[in-house]
Chain A
Amino acid sequence: MHATVSNDVPSAERTAEAARNAKDTRDDRIFGWVLKACALLVLLALVGAAGSTLWLGWDAFHTFGFGFLTSATWDPSNDQYGALVPIMGTVGTAFIALLFAVPVSFGIALFLTEIAPQWLRGPVSSAIELLAGIPSIIYGMWGLFIFAPFVAEHVKPWLMNNFSADPPDGQVSWLVQHVPWIARFFSSEYPFFGAGVFTAGLVLAVMIIPFISSVMREVFQTVPTRLKESAYALGSSTWEVVWDIVVPYTRTAVIGGIFLGLGRALGETMAVAFVLGNTFKFSWSFLETGSSIASTIANQFGEAQGLQRSSLMAIAFLLFVVTFIVLLIARLMLRRLKTKEGK
């Protein structure tokens, strides 16, 4: 009796354990599938969105061929479309935005993690996060009513006096006389008008600073205090600690943050539509008006039909392509940095 029981219990326990193991394996597998489905969903959404814009824009690609990429015409009444000006506008405004946003964000993040007194960190961080929450139409209105007139009155005349071949004060600067090509980037058909690629880039910079700086701040905080304190103990200055310890330690995440901001700058619609001037004339100048892909779509989609609608879809697909190329460049840069590190 006793023996059977003692034999019986472990076997029951064993079957229970086996059942539990089987259940765990099954649950694990289901959990794995769910996670895989989540990840695939993102991929599916991306491929679906890119695919549907390509499909709806096929008519335009088919009609204009390769010329669609190189033509600066956008003529709805004669049904002739080209993507060159919107692509240049998108890349140009995003470039200017990064040019200003990256150093400023770097400064903000360093100040908050390394230099600022404890009591100041909270309020400044919340202020930056609040900036990220402002809807883009508000930035657009601010840009149109306040910032563009400010640029026209104070910033643009200075830039044109120093860098353009046709300055308002009539004196062509030394720089322009001696450096070829530079004047080409600073010409302007409407010298007294604030809107343009440069202004749009600055508005975008203000919009992406919160994104980049909060990512930078988060990752700067992850640098082990041990490392920094060792460096300080060896007599490094704050700048040396930052440049030689903090930045290398966080480089990948910092670049990730920059590209998060860049992604927003490339796709920003409303703010840009108000301060870019919305013209379809090709120009190398930052001070000229232009168009971006997103603003063109926002401006024209409501009333577009036929080939015009298809062309708008086609440039939407090109925005995917531009973003993809930019990300690819970022990856390659990171890889090169890593191989250099190895040597």
Chain B
Amino acid sequence: MVAVSLFGMGAAQATDITGAGSSFVYPVLSKWSASYSETTGNKINYQSVGSGAGIAQIKEGTIDFGASDAPMSGEDLAKFGLGQFPSVVGGIVPVVNLQGVQAGQLKLTGAVLADIYMGKIARWSDPAIAALNPGLKIPDNKITVVHRSDGSGTSFNFTNYLSKVSPEWASKVKFGTAVEWPAGVGGKGNEGVSQYVRQIPGSIGYVEYAYAKKNSISYAQLQNASGKWVQPNAETFGAAAATADWASAKDFNVIMTNAPGDQAWPITATTWIIMYKKSKNASHTKVAFDFFKYSLEKGQSAAASLDYVALPATLVQKIEAYWASDFGNK
């Protein structure tokens, strides 16, 4: 106790740094910053204002780091002298309301999921679904599609996945934080979607894994890029982060969905931290890197307790090498 307070006095020149952006990363970031400021005295103020607003603020240079669920393009990064790296991994899962179907029982492929979201598969008795689920008794409901009504990183990653597995989706609907949904109703936020799914028999939605788990809504398993059936959990999310094609991308500009690898969950997402490569405020940047080093290396248990997955060690090494090469942070 005495040691802690002495240490606190020793770090009298505590620095407060500010970040803003994605709400996806907010719970884990605030947990990390709490334990980080306990040991160092430095405070991280994070405003969960949405990825778009986070990017806008870092471009204006009013904050020390931004956080976005969608990566910034290489051009934009170069134009503003910014760099970006992933921070934490989470999974997005399709959730269904089908009487008698337990969590993880229903099997769906990406193509079938895209057809459902296009409104082309309109009933659960459709042969395409039956063929994937021999022996599973699925009630013959009409399918009600539920999507997010607000612009969100969850929608960005989900629609990005559908674009990768369905050429028709890629040409007609495309992907983004908000799109023109061909079918269904929109719930506000993860809680809105999970609540709609619980209320409508025969509905299908998509939420962050933590929400499905907390609200015990039954989720589906998916076939990944290498043809294997996978359940959503920490191992499969971590596998996707490890096997995603980081090597060939500059500034970690890879959207992780449909990652290769036998164990990879196909709709895995990350949040990118965006910072200036040439520091505008050296002392703040130093604290920021110190904080992210702490979270990447020691933040696993905090992440796991909130159903996020810390980045695999191989990726952390790559990020730290990137800091050294691009930001001059050794």
A residues within 8 Å of B by Cβ?
Answer: 73-78, 80, 144-145, 148-149, 152, 190, 192-195, 273-274, 277-280, 289, 295, 298-305, 308
Q: Is the pair A75, B179 in contact by a Cβ cutoff of 8 Å?
A: yes
Residue of B159, B174, B188 near A274 (CB, 8 A) is B188
Q: Is the pair A303, B149 in contact by a Cβ cutoff of 8 Å?
A: no
Q: A193-B200, A303-B50 are in contact. Are A144 and B180 (CB under 8 A)?
A: no
Contact residues in B for A273 (Cβ distance below 8 Å): 149, 188
B residues within 8 Å of A by Cβ?
Answer: 49-53, 56, 144, 149-152, 159, 173-181, 184-188, 192, 195-196, 199-201
Q: Is the pair B180, A278 in contact by a Cβ cutoff of 8 Å?
A: no
Q: Which partner residue on chain B sits nearest A289 by CB separation?
A: B185
Q: Is the pair B149, A302 in contact by a Cβ cutoff of 8 Å?
A: no
Q: Is the pair A299, B199 in contact by a Cβ cutoff of 8 Å?
A: no
Q: Is the pair A302, B53 in contact by a Cβ cutoff of 8 Å?
A: yes
Q: A75-B180, A148-B199, A193-B144 are in contact. Are A299 and B185 (CB under 8 A)?
A: no
Contact residues in B for A80 (Cβ distance below 8 Å): 180
For the residues of B in contact with A, the DSSP-based class is loop
Q: Is the pair B186, A78 in contact by a Cβ cutoff of 8 Å?
A: no
Residue of B178, B187, B200 near A192 (CB, 8 A) is B200
Q: Which partner residue on chain A sits nearest B69 by CB separation?
A: A303
Residue of B144, B151, B176, B192 near A302 (CB, 8 A) is B151
Q: Is the pair A195, B196 in contact by a Cβ cutoff of 8 Å?
A: yes
Q: Is the pair A299, B188 in contact by a Cβ cutoff of 8 Å?
A: yes
Q: Is the pair B185, A300 in contact by a Cβ cutoff of 8 Å?
A: no
Given the complex of chains A and B, what is the CA–CA distance between A80 and B53 in angstroms? 22
Given the complex of chains A and B, what is the CA–CA distance between A277 and B173 in angstroms? 20
Q: Is the pair A280, B199 in contact by a Cβ cutoff of 8 Å?
A: no
Q: A193-B144, A193-B199, A193-B200 are in contact. Are A300 and B178 (CB under 8 A)?
A: yes
Contact residues in A for B178 (Cβ distance below 8 Å): 76, 299-300, 303-304, 308
Q: Is the pair B200, A302 in contact by a Cβ cutoff of 8 Å?
A: no
Q: Which partner residue on chain A sits nearest B186 by CB separation?
A: A278
Contact residues in A for B150 (Cβ distance below 8 Å): 298-300, 302-303
Q: Is the pair A76, B144 in contact by a Cβ cutoff of 8 Å?
A: no
Q: Which partner residue on chain B sits nearest A299 by CB separation?
A: B150
Given the complex of chains A and B, what is the CA–CA distance between A64 and B145 in angstroms? 30
**Distance to closest chain A CB from B156 (angstroms):** 8
Given the complex of chains A and B, what is the CA–CA distance between A300 and B180 in angstroms? 12
Given the complex of chains A and B, what is the CA–CA distance between A144 and B146 in angstroms? 14
Given the complex of chains A and B, what is the CA–CA distance between A76 and B201 in angstroms? 29
Contact residues in A for B50 (Cβ distance below 8 Å): 302-303
Given the complex of chains A and B, what is the CA–CA distance between A50 and B95 in angstroms? 42
Contact residues in B for A303 (Cβ distance below 8 Å): 50-53, 150-152, 177-178
**Distance to closest chain A CB from B196 (angstroms):** 7
Given the complex of chains A and B, what is the CA–CA distance between A144 and B178 in angstroms? 22
What are 23 residue pairs bridging A and B, where the CB atoms are less than 8 Å apart in the complex? A75-B180, A76-B177, A76-B178, A145-B195, A148-B199, A192-B200, A192-B201, A193-B196, A277-B185, A278-B185, A278-B187, A279-B181, A299-B151, A299-B178, A300-B151, A301-B151, A302-B52, A302-B150, A303-B51, A303-B53, A303-B150, A304-B52, A304-B151
Given the complex of chains A and B, what is the CA–CA distance between A152 and B174 in angstroms? 33
Q: Is the pair B180, A274 in contact by a Cβ cutoff of 8 Å?
A: no
Contact residues in A for B192 (Cβ distance below 8 Å): 144, 274
Q: Which partner residue on chain A sits nearest B203 by CB separation?
A: A193
Q: Which 10 A-B pairs have the closest CB atoms?
A: A303-B151, A302-B50, A278-B149, A278-B186, A75-B180, A77-B174, A303-B177, A299-B150, A303-B52, A76-B178
Q: Is the pair A277, B186 in contact by a Cβ cutoff of 8 Å?
A: yes
**Distance to closest chain A CB from B162 (angstroms):** 12
Contact residues in A for B56 (Cβ distance below 8 Å): 305
Scoring B56, B173, B176, B196 by chain A CB atoms within 10 A of each residue's CB, the highest score goes to B196
Contact residues in B for A145 (Cβ distance below 8 Å): 195
Given the complex of chains A and B, what is the CA–CA distance between A6 and B174 in angstroms? 98
Q: Is the pair A195, B53 in contact by a Cβ cutoff of 8 Å?
A: no
Contact residues in B for A194 (Cβ distance below 8 Å): 199
Given the complex of chains A and B, what is the CA–CA distance between A11 and B178 in angstroms? 82
Q: Is the pair B149, A77 in contact by a Cβ cutoff of 8 Å?
A: no
Contact residues in B for A304 (Cβ distance below 8 Å): 52, 151, 178
Q: Is the pair A302, B49 in contact by a Cβ cutoff of 8 Å?
A: yes
Q: A77-B180, A193-B199 are in contact. Are A279 and B186 (CB under 8 A)?
A: yes
Residue of B49, B144, B177 near A190 (CB, 8 A) is B144
Q: Which partner residue on chain B sits nearest A141 by CB separation?
A: B191
Contact residues in A for B179 (Cβ distance below 8 Å): 75-77
**Distance to closest chain A CB from B20 (angstroms):** 11
Contact residues in B for A77 (Cβ distance below 8 Å): 159, 173-176, 179-180
Given the complex of chains A and B, what is the CA–CA distance between A145 and B194 in angstroms? 11
Q: Is the pair B188, A195 in contact by a Cβ cutoff of 8 Å?
A: no
Given the complex of chains A and B, what is the CA–CA distance between A78 and B181 in angstroms? 12
Given the complex of chains A and B, what is the CA–CA distance between A195 and B150 in angstroms? 16
Q: Is the pair A195, B151 in contact by a Cβ cutoff of 8 Å?
A: no
Q: Is the pair A76, B149 in contact by a Cβ cutoff of 8 Å?
A: no
Scoring B53, B149, B175, B176 by chain A CB atoms within 10 A of each residue's CB, the highest score goes to B149
Residue of B176, B184, B195 near A279 (CB, 8 A) is B184
Q: Is the pair A144, B149 in contact by a Cβ cutoff of 8 Å?
A: no
**Distance to closest chain B CB from A279 (angstroms):** 6
Contact residues in B for A302 (Cβ distance below 8 Å): 49-50, 52-53, 150-151
**Distance to closest chain B CB from A224 (angstroms):** 50
Contact residues in B for A295 (Cβ distance below 8 Å): 149
Given the complex of chains A and B, what is the CA–CA distance between A149 and B180 in angstroms? 26
Given the complex of chains A and B, what is the CA–CA distance between A126 and B34 in angstroms? 43
Q: Is the pair B180, A280 in contact by a Cβ cutoff of 8 Å?
A: yes
